[in-house]
Structure 1
Amino acid sequence: MSAVETRTVSRDSLFLLASIRVEQDDEVHKVRVRNLSDGGMMGEGNIRVKRGNRLQIELRNIGKVEGSVAWVQDNRFGIAFDEEIDSQSARKPASEADPLTKPKSENSWAHRAPPTPTPQSLRKV
């Protein structure tokens, strides 16, 4: 990571728990959400993920969100969501969340997860 800030979307530092299910795996893992934006999140926990893995994340007051792993470093990892969320909803207590009054976010193509690589594009080791 460099000292230059390259992000175009603000994110909130927070401490939440989320449930994550990795593609083609029935096991649900509990992870800590360290920061959250409308386009993605940083998670931390004892879960083995690789860049490009598809995930389904259950976030408080938001529900199930799909995305893919953008980076991994030790026990922390970044997730790029497929669709933008209202990240402020996750900060509210569960009793305050009302899906009928929640404003809908506009899609931003700047935070799209990269496409899943094809077997032909992978380097053989």
Structure 2
Amino acid sequence: MKHFGKNVFADAKPADGSRRGRESVHVAARLRIVGAASAMKVGIRNVSAGGLMAELPRAIAPDAAIEVELAGIGWVSGRVAWQTAGRVGVAFDQEIDPVQLVAEEAGGK
């Protein structure tokens, strides 16, 4: 598996041609630590091809291997890139198409 590292957010290419490379979203998801039996509910606040930022109810260890279930995409593996005050940055192991999540969010409204 490829690990994107801590610069994943700055280095991510825009999926829709925009300059930022990140899409602001407000969607619920499930996140689990690899090997854990249960998942926690989280709120995804932005997503890019290489990672996401989520709000979560409890801390996760830095560099922990995780999986997050994204609507329209499914379970995606990654690692905790950073964490602060109830938020976590996740670097995906493989790029996703964030437009799928944005389209799912738009369809659910």
> For the superposition of Structure 1 and Structure 2, which TM-score range results when normalised by the shorter chain?
0.7 to 0.9
**Deviating runs (4+, > 3 A) in structure 1?**
none
Q: Which residue of 2 aligns with 1:86?
A: 97
Of the two structures, which has the highest relative contact order with CA contacts closer than 8 Å and spacing of 6 or more? 2
TM-score by length of 1: 0.67
TM-score by length of 2: 0.76
Secondary structure of 1:91's partner?
helix
- Structure 1: unaligned runs, 5 residues or longer: 1-5, 97-125
Distance in 2 between residues matched to 1:8 and 1:82, nearest whole Å? 14
Structure number with higher strand proportion: 2
How much does 1:92 deviate? 1.4
Structure (1 or 2) with the larger CA radius of gyration: 1
Q: Which residue of 1 aligns with 2:10?
A: 7
Q: Which residue of 2 aligns with 1:56?
A: 67
**Compared with structure 1, are the counterparts of its residues 91 and 53 closer, same or farther at alpha carbon in structure 2 (3 Å cutoff)?**
same
Distance in 2 between residues matched to 1:47 and 1:33, nearest whole Å? 15
How much does 1:89 deviate? 0.4
Pairs within 5 Å for 1:1-125: 7-9=10-12, 10-93=21-104
How much does 1:24 deviate? 2.4
Percent identity over paired residues: 33
| Partner deviation per Cα, 1:31-68 (whole Å, 9 max, x = no partner) | 00010000000010203201110001100000110000
8 Å CA contact 1:50–1:71 kept in 2: the answer is: no
